[in-house]
Amino acid sequence: MMKAWWKRLGPEAGWSSFWLVVIVVMAATWSTLRADWADGLDILPGIAATGLFVGLVLSEWRRLPIWLSHFAMVLAGIVVILWRMSRQLSDDLGGWSDKLLFLWTRWVQWFSAIRQGERAEDLYLFILLMAAIHYLIAYCATWLVLRRRHPWLSVLLPGIVLLTNLGYSRKVSIAYLLLYLFAAMVLVGRVNLAAREWSWRRLGVPYSGAIAWQAMWVLTYLAIAVMIGGWLVPLTLHSERVAAAWRQVDQPWERARDTLAQWFPSVRGPGGRAVGGFASFGSSFQLGGPLRLSDEPVLLVTGESAPYLVAHRYNIFTGQGWQTDLDPANQSNPSSPAQSPGLVDGPLVELRADEPLPAVAWASESRVEQRFAVEVIQPRSAVIFTTGQPVSVSRPVRVQMSWFDSNGTMIDVQRVELDAAPPELRPLIELLKKADFTPPQPTPTPVPESTGPTPEPTPQDSQQATPSPGAEPSPASAEEQPEYGSPPELPQIQALLRQLRQRGIEASYYIDKQGGYRVTYLWYSGPLPVYDDIEALFAQDAVRQGFRYEVTSSVSVATPDQLRQAAERAMQLVPADGDPFMAWQEVTATDYGFYPEPIYARYTQLPPVVSARTVELAHSLASGKTNAYDVAEAIESYLRTHITYNENVAQPRVPDVVDYILFERPEGYCTYYATTMVVLLRILGIPSRMVVGYYPADYDQQAGGYLYRDRNAHAWVEVYFPGYGWIPFEPTAARSPIQRGIVPGVEGLSGSTEPGSLQPPFPTDGRQFGFPEDFMPPEGSGGVGALGATPEQATPRWMIALRGLVLVLALAVTAALVAWFWGTRGLSPVGQLMLKVQRASRLAGLPHEPTMTPYELASVVGRAFPGTRHYAWLLADLYTRERYGGRAPTPEEVEQARRAWRQLRGRFVRQFLRARLRVGPPEVASAQ
């Protein structure tokens, strides 16, 4: 009775179709919740569940007109969403009507700002929009399946939401996609089968009622096979045509993303980063438009002084805005040049709490450490605010920095200072400095006198003096003296060479026989992180209100005179003979000294739209200046006096914003000033970059710290000085110039960073570089020179083993299914069922003889599984009558036989598991 009532209540497409829709919709909803776009999205699962229920009821209420059903859906959605939103608001606003009035007021203000092209920001309206979207998706997916039988459209909408979350947030697990794909594939097949069943009923075609469950099993196997095949078979396309076509397809999504970024700039974007304008600290922003910043508190900083808080740095200027080439969402276009030669994409460097970043000699002079605490009042993104050169953070973080692919760089091992070498190579260089490869003294033996001259070493001999990385010198035999000795440091040297090779870094060294069997040169090739080129830090944990962390940074206290002499300091970072190609890394010589090639390549980029008069102005401002500091100071002073500060400027509709600011309309706010200064400096070959964050806040007695508000959002400039690193400049006229040589509340001046402990500055387990230990590539996978395999190119052993295991399991399952169904083709339904009983009896270990009659087999099964004798005899009787009596069973009898097999199937499975796993006694009754 209850089963019949439940069947009448269920949808025509079947309950299985509805529950598959639930899985598809909830997978998309959970992915949005996991993406953590903003706080307050935990209401979405309840909203989506409401949409599913409303869709189920209205789709089956067929007497109700369609327009009235949709109208009822809208009313139910408004009531539920507003009720859930009201619970998100504080009760201090008042009752239900007061909260609705609050939401309406914010909606009017937000819509007015959007229409006027101003910066709009309202977290509550974003939550409201997301709730409405997920409610409509849940309702439409249910309606399309149960009422319209359009499974493809029903899975398309949740799929768009899920792929958007997966593509723009690293927090979303691939498991949501696998769950969605499985349910979607089964749902499409199930709905098509339901449509076919409806057609059969309409035409009066007889069919088995068990066909639905059989089809579900087949669809399940097929979905699993497709997902396993898609995982095992990688699809990689390297085609310019395909890439161009994809960019055309991707353009509407990019425009939609930019539109949403303008509407809701404080929403957290990829990896927890914001996606909006400069004040949201995203991966890119455009110049222009009125500046609308609120008085809302966002951060509370406690420390000796209020620092410039850095959120993000940018290297690429497009002519109209800024972006970074380290963000995978950016696409190359004609106005944004490709990545600089030698620069490679590397993983985000992961650091544990309080784990320090290595110091580099190019950015260590005249610096002190400053420590302060930050408490998040209003979350904007997952960015960690720092100042100067970050040293450590009290929370686990991911560091976004550039990487440089060194190709055959040579280091003079005996002359190089350890703190001037790449941090990854310092432990190896220290051991090579100590290693003495002098061979042991030979045993004197008579040697025939030679009348000829002693041969000089040949280049071939020199090549033989270079051991292969990780290879030990040849052992001595009884007759032959070894050419090199084995110093105590050799095992450690070989271990470090293997570790470097696993990271894609190839290294080899040269032993000079004439120089006392000491290592003189070290060659290395491969990608290395540039530690003095940090763009941003992101928290590994979710950043919410009350999130607190402490930051230690290295800030510059260099005086103007010291910065004027930076070119002389740069000369100390290359060998004494002045040959820059003998330095530890590539350097570029300019009119203002030597710069590291990774820094110079990234931060002198200019778009092709820079005008001739802008170039002329830059050279005129630098005329008569002999050092980079005086040039930067002259440009800073010029901009502070020749550009009027104005927050209400219109957005420039020109390809070259800098030319427009300098010569057409010299007014604007911080991003205008900073952009213009960076472009003028880059024209002169001085590396500089755009920085966004917050300028120093005032001390708040009530809060007990420096209270940073939204209006503190700011942009300024950092200029690179060899030996001193990045030095901030303040070109904005509304802000006070930065004082040099002092940091309020910080005492003690540090010179060049001492090497200190020469243990590896990075963990040897690969964790710091974003690769867990199990992801390390196999030994020997690293290549030589520029062709060496990077960590991202090498397939880890555990992945290969896991894929092999999955493949073996898939083949085993396929073989078992083929063996199970083999020979059933051509048999009648009852014959197939009887054959299954015979095979299941053998697998379950029941007594079975080839000469058994169907009734004897039924007796064995009945004795083995109490309570099943009736089902076994029913199958035997129907099979005997059909096989030997020539009377085919009726459809009702076939259905009875299938039900009997389903009753027996579970018993066979349990008995099979007991027999294989030896768990408990066999399920056999006595003969009595």
Q: Give residue 340's pLDDT.
A: 45
Q: Give residue 785's pLDDT.
A: 29
Question: Alpha helices of 344-457 — where are they, by DSSP H?
Answer: 426-434
Region 445-466: mean pLDDT is: 44
How many Cβ atoms from other residues are within 10 Å of residue 82's Cβ?
A: 16
CA dist., res. 891 & res. 900, Å (int)? 14
Residue 232 pLDDT exceeds 70 = no
Q: Give residue 581's pLDDT.
A: 40
How many Cβ atoms from other residues are within 10 Å of residue 353's Cβ?
A: 13
Residue 461 pLDDT exceeds 50 = no
Q: Output the furthest CA–CA distance in the chain (Å, rounded).
A: 118
What is the dihedral sign for C-alpha 727, 729, 735, 739? positive
Tell me the DSSP string of 245-263. Answer: HHHHHHHHHHHHHHHHHHH
**With contact defined as beta carbons under 8 Å apart, do 376 and 548 qualify?**
yes
632-655: burial string, b at 16+ Cβ within 10 Å, e else? bbbbbebbbeebebeeebeebebe
Taking only the tens place, the pLDDT of each residue in 531-577 is: 888 999 999 887 888 899 999 999 999 999 999 988 776 666 655 44
Residue 242 pLDDT exceeds 50 = yes
**With contact defined as beta carbons under 8 Å apart, do 181 and 223 qualify?**
yes
Taking only the tens place, the pLDDT of each residue in 6-57 is: 455 566 666 777 888 888 889 888 888 887 777 677 888 888 898 888 888 8
CA–CA–CA angle 552, 556, 562 (5° rounding): 160
**With contact defined as beta carbons under 8 Å apart, do 191 and 145 qualify?**
yes
CA dist., res. 720 & res. 684, Å (int)? 13
Q: Give residue 481's pLDDT.
A: 61
Task: List C-alpha distances in Å: 126 to 52, 709, 731, 765.
Answer: 22, 21, 35, 42
CA dist., res. 459 & res. 811, Å (int)? 57
Spacing of C-alpha 862 from chain mean position: 58
Tell me the DSSP string of 135-172. Answer: HHHHHHHHHHHHTS--HHHHHHHHHHHHHHHHHH-TTS
**With contact defined as beta carbons under 8 Å apart, do 841 and 848 qualify?**
yes
CA dist., res. 410 & res. 524, Å (int)? 7
Three-class SS of residue 488? Answer: coil
Q: Give residue 20's pLDDT.
A: 85
Residue 343 pLDDT exceeds 60 = no
Q: Which residue has the higher pLDDT, 513 or 240?
A: 513
Taking only the tens place, the pLDDT of each residue in 248-305 is: 655 666 666 556 655 665 555 543 334 346 777 878 888 876 777 778 899 999 998 9
Give burial (CB, 10 Å; 0-12/13-18/19+) of 861. buried
Taking only the tens place, the pLDDT of each residue in 740-778 is: 876 655 544 443 333 333 333 333 333 333 333 333 333
How many Cβ atoms from other residues are within 10 Å of residue 213's Cβ?
A: 13
Region 461-490: mean pLDDT is: 55
Give burial (CB, 10 Å; 0-12/13-18/19+) of 256. exposed
Token pair 């209205």 is at which residue?
Answer: 58
Residue 161 pLDDT exceeds 70 = yes
Q: Which residue has the higher pLDDT, 808 or 766?
A: 808
In percent, how much of the chain has pLDDT > 70?
A: 67
Spacing of C-alpha 520 from chain mean position: 41
**With contact defined as beta carbons under 8 Å apart, do 261 and 275 qualify?**
yes
Please report which confidence band the pLDDT of residue 141 belongs to, taking 50, 70 and 90 as the band edges: confident
Identify the CA nearest to 367 among candidates 756, 754, 751, 747: 751
Comparing 64-73, 121-130, 352-361, 512-521, the range with the smallest average pLDDT is 121-130
Region 235-258: mean pLDDT is: 55
Question: Alpha helices of 204-298 — where are they, by DSSP H?
Answer: 211-232, 240-263
Q: Give residue 661's pLDDT.
A: 93
Q: Give residue 114's pLDDT.
A: 58
Q: Give residue 504's pLDDT.
A: 84
Amino acid symbol at 806: V
Q: What is the mean pLDDT of the chain?
A: 75
Q: Which residue has the higher pLDDT, 840 or 687?
A: 687
Q: Give residue 659's pLDDT.
A: 94
Spacing of C-alpha 318 from chain mean position: 25
Structure tokens at 103: 């939401």
In percent, how much of the chain has pLDDT > 90?
A: 20
- Most trustworthy range by pLDDT among 32-41, 334-343, 579-588: 32-41
Spacing of C-alpha 585 from chain mean position: 29
